[in-house]
């Protein structure tokens, strides 16, 4: 019927099936099978890694095609959602959707009109409605938003706010709480920095040093532990840190500042070159170059000793100074800002590797970046990361299930609650993911162990 566009006949059959409680689900399955048959090439390859831009764009085209086919009948709206929910039942979809959003927010929306951005965000929400693991999307989106905002890699704060607003409309304020807090942190920090510059007693010194501090809430943002480390810094940097810390702690006496030096960036001017160049670099890179100015050659081990930090931190930043494609697209070992006595074949860095400043360095651009490259993870590392993510996701799901069970039992004080009813009610109330009855049972047992509920023969009771 759909192939021949007999929509009226299809509608009549659909109305008949709606009489039965499982009718819509059955029709949804049939519609999802029809979509799979028409788009066999796409759905056969859905488990293979794909560029999220291509993957989500293809999926949106499929959704639009089906929507245009059924749009004449209002009752098909729910059927379309059921069909796509059945199709999009893997964690692949929420992760790819989060990647697609990240691409657009970083560069995809560049030069695009407000109308284009609005339409794209609406398309994103149309896909979001149908993903089953909304908690996976939430976790991935929080990570990527945190990275964009903290590294100042977003194109439009209005687009970020607009998406959060649309997600809030779909899933409520709790769902977007962390994302909203990140945006709020940015806005508060802007006024905080202005106030600091106005009130500090060291205005004359700080006017000569252009520095910016981003204060973030530790329990809201996604910060890697590796970005928090101690390192020996020059007196003028220590002065800036101490001065801001004194201001902040005096204003908020109950708070404590932890400096994430691994997230810091600064501009370096290279005055020794024939043409003046500027790089966007990390703090360890700057300190490494300072050390090399005082010594002709140094081993990585010696530099780490001078800076008082782990040699692993130095190695990843050294690679950025040599191989960043911004100035060295062919990854040649003699084209970097510094030189290293490493093997031409494997380019392996050791503690004993000797480095020195490359006085013949040249870059096509006046301004470039030397930020560390994202290293390719080994299969073992990927397996370990996936294992940790699964463990973290299971814990997150268990917390949601336990909170839901506790809320249900609190509302039924004085009433008898049997196991089957409690499992069914919890399944209805949990919308972020498709919950397994066995998982609910496991969490009932955990609540019993925690003395939150107790078992009375064949029923449960909340312990007030």
Q: What pLDDT digit, counting tens, does each position of 330-353 carry? A: 888 889 999 998 877 767 888 899
Distance CA 303, CA 295 (A): 10
Residue 44 binned pLDDT confidence (cut-offs 50, 70, 90)? low
Q: What is the mean pLDDT of residues 145-172?
A: 93
Q: Give whole-number Cα distances, 20 to 2, 27, 77, 276, in Å.
A: 22, 11, 18, 76
Average pLDDT over the chain, rounded to whole?
Answer: 84
Q: What is the mean pLDDT of residues 121-131?
A: 91
pLDDT, residue 13, reads 59
* pTM for this entry: 0.80
DSSP letter (8 states) at residue 107? I
> In the numeric block, which tokens belong to residue 127?
């896909």
Cα angle for residues 162, 164, 168 (degrees, 5° grid):
115
Per DSSP, the three-state class of 368 is strand
Q: Is the pLDDT of residue 212 over 90?
A: no
Q: Is the pLDDT of residue 4 over 60?
A: no
Residue 381 binned pLDDT confidence (cut-offs 50, 70, 90)? confident
pLDDT, residue 202, reads 63
Residue 76 binned pLDDT confidence (cut-offs 50, 70, 90)? low
pLDDT, residue 41, reads 66
Cα angle for residues 409, 415, 417 (degrees, 5° grid):
60
Q: Is the pLDDT of residue 286 over 90?
A: yes
Q: What is the pLDDT of residues 14-29, one digit of tens each?
A: 555 555 556 666 666 7
Q: Is the pLDDT of residue 120 over 90?
A: yes
Distance CA 129, CA 124 (A): 9
Q: For residues 97 and 128, is the Cβ–Cβ distance under 8 A?
A: yes
Q: Is the pLDDT of residue 119 over 70?
A: yes
Helices (H), 39-113: 40-44, 52-70, 76-87, 92-103
Q: For residues 105 and 160, is the Cβ–Cβ distance under 8 A?
A: yes
Q: Is the pLDDT of residue 48 over 60?
A: no
Residue-by-residue DSSP string for 322-350:
HH-TTT-TT--TTSSSEEE---TTT----
Residue-by-residue DSSP string for 33-52:
HHHHHHTHHHHHTTTS---H
pLDDT, residue 40, reads 66
**Residue of 247 and 81 predicted with greater confidence:** 247
Q: Is the pLDDT of residue 75 over 70?
A: no
Q: What is the mean pLDDT of residues 369-382?
A: 80
**Residue of 440 and 49 predicted with greater confidence:** 440
pLDDT, residue 140, reads 92
Q: What is the mean pLDDT of residues 152-162?
A: 93
Element (H, E) at 369: strand 367-369
Domains along the sequence of the chain with CATH: 7-172 (no CATH), 187-262 (no CATH), 276-369 (3.30.230.130), 379-462 (1.10.10.10)
pLDDT, residue 17, reads 54
Q: Is the pLDDT of residue 325 over 60?
A: yes
Percent of the chain with pLDDT over 90: 37
Q: Is the pLDDT of residue 103 over 90?
A: yes
Q: What is the mean pLDDT of residues 245-262?
A: 88
> In the numeric block, which tokens belong to residue 98?
């989060």
Residue 198 binned pLDDT confidence (cut-offs 50, 70, 90)? confident
């Amino acid at each position: 019927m759909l192939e021949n566009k007999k929509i009226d006949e299809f509608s009549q059959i659909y109305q008949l099936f709606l009489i039965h409680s499982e009718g819509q689900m059955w029709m949804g399955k049939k519609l999802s099978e029809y979509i799979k048959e028409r788009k066999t090439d796409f759905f056969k390859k859905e488990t293979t890694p794909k560029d999220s831009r291509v993957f989500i764009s293809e999926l949106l085209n499929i959704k639009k095609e089906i929507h245009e086919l059924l749009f004449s009948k209002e009752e098909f709206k729910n059927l379309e959602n059921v069909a796509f929910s059945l199709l999009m039942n893997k964690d692949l979809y929420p992760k790819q959707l989060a990647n697609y959003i990240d691409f657009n927010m970083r560069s995809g929306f560049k030069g695009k009109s407000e109308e284009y951005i609005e339409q794209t965000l609406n398309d994103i929400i149309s896909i979001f409605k149908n993903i089953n693991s909304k908690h996976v999307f939430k976790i991935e989106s929080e990570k990527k938003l945190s990275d964009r905002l903290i590294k100042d890699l977003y194109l439009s704060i209005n687009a970020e706010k607009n998406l959060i607003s649309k997600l809030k409309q779909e899933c409520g304020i709790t769902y977007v709480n962390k994302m909203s807090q990140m945006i709020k942190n940015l806005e508060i920090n802007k006024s905080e920095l202005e106030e600091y510059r106005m009130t500090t007693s060291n205005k004359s010194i700080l006017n000569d040093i252009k520095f910016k501090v981003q204060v973030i809430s530790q329990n809201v943002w996604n910060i890697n532990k590796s970005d928090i480390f101690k390192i020996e810094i020059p007196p003028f940097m220590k002065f800036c840190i101490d001065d801001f810390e004194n201001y902040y702690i005096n204003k908020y006496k109950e708070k404590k500042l932890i400096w994430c030096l691994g997230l810091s960036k600064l501009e370096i001017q290279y005055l020794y070159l024939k043409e003046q160049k500027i790089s966007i670099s990390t703090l360890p890179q700057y300190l490494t170059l300072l050390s090399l100015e005082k010594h002709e050659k140094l081993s990585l081990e010696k530099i780490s000793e001078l800076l008082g930090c782990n040699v692993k931190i130095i190695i990843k930043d050294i690679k950025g100074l040599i191989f960043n494609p911004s100035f060295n697209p062919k990854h040649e070992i003699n084209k970097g800002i510094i030189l290293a006595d490493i093997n031409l074949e494997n380019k392996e860095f050791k503690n004993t590797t000797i480095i020195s400043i490359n006085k013949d360095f040249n870059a096509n651009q006046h301004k470039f970046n030397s930020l560390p490259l994202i290293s390719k993870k080994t299969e073992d590392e990927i397996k370990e990361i996936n294992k940790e993510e699964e463990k973290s996701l299971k814990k997150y799901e268990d917390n949601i299930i336990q909170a839901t069970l506790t809320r249900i039992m609190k509302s039924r004080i004085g009433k008898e609650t049997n196991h089957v009813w409690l499992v069914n009610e919890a399944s209805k109330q949990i919308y972020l993911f498709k919950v397994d009855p066995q998982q609910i049972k496991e969490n009932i047992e955990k609540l019993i162990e925690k003395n939150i509920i107790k078992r009375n023969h064949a029923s449960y009771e909340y312990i007030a």
